[in-house]
Amino acid sequence: MMSDIAEDETSFYSNAEDYWRDVSPTVDGMLGGYGSISSIDLNGSKAFLQKFLGEGEGKTGTGCALDCGAGIGRISKRLLLPLFHTVDLVDVTQEFLDKAKTYLGQDGQRVGNYFCCGLQDFAPEKGRYDVIWIQWVIGHLTDSHLVEFLRRCQSALRPNGLIIIKDNVAYEGVVPDEVDSSVCRELGIVRKLVGQAGLRIIHEEQQMNFPKEIYQVHTLALR
């Protein structure tokens, strides 16, 4: 499936950009009409992330985080900005980043950078980030671009830094979504691509209490 996409990479990316350009810059828009799950999602993410933050041996710092596929800043506002001193946002849709500047309110003063860029082309600054948060966006990257992006993320980490992937997982294989021009990979494939990037999974959890009709969502902490 992904080999077909690689052959038609240009339209895979441009169709996704076209899709998101027409999505309303709201929490409900970011979550495909499932705005009601936002708090459950964020509470689960916070519990996951706080296992790693703090003082002491092997703990991850709280200086700077990167929100990948940030949209209007839903995750930055309620997860990353409360925990980190500085947060950078990257998203392919300029309108979402413009909206983030008002949506984040006072805490937006601690945003370091707003990058308008697709992750396949984005190179985070080396050694800048304690945590790189990548949620509901890896399906918009081809396998090879995902591996390359994760490698760039690894070099962008500070000592004891973490890459977090939180995303839908398919029951089997790779499931294409023609509507938003993305794919959903089974967990085994995600793990394999993480390994190809030279990263290891240090912790993994399934997000609980989501509606039964949506894909399972798993969170992976990588170093």
Q: Which residues pair with 184 in a beta bridge?
A: 175
108 marked ligand binding residue: no
Rounded Cα–Cα distance for residues 111 and 131 (Å): 14
E-strand ranges in the chain read 64-68, 86-91, 111-116, 129-135, 157-169, 174-177, 182-185, 201-206, 216-222
Decide: 66 and 90 in contact? Cβ < 8 Å. Answer: yes
91 marked ligand binding residue: yes
137 marked ligand binding residue: no
| Burial 128-140, CB ≥16 within 10 A → b, else e | bbbbbbbbbbbbb
Decide: 204 and 156 in contact? Cβ < 8 Å. Answer: no
154 marked ligand binding residue: no
Rounded Cα–Cα distance for residues 161 and 124 (Å): 14
For the record, the structure tokens of 25 come out as 């810059």
119 marked ligand binding residue: yes
74 marked ligand binding residue: yes
Asked whether the CA dihedral 77, 83, 88, 91 is positive or negative, the reply is: negative
Rounded Cα–Cα distance for residues 223 and 157 (Å): 9
Instruction: Provide DSSP, 71-102.
Output: TTTHHIIIIITTT-SEEEEEES-HHHHHHHHH
Annotated binding site for S-adenosyl-L-methionine: 69, 74, 91-93, 119-120, 135
Annotated binding site: 69, 74, 91-93, 119-120, 135
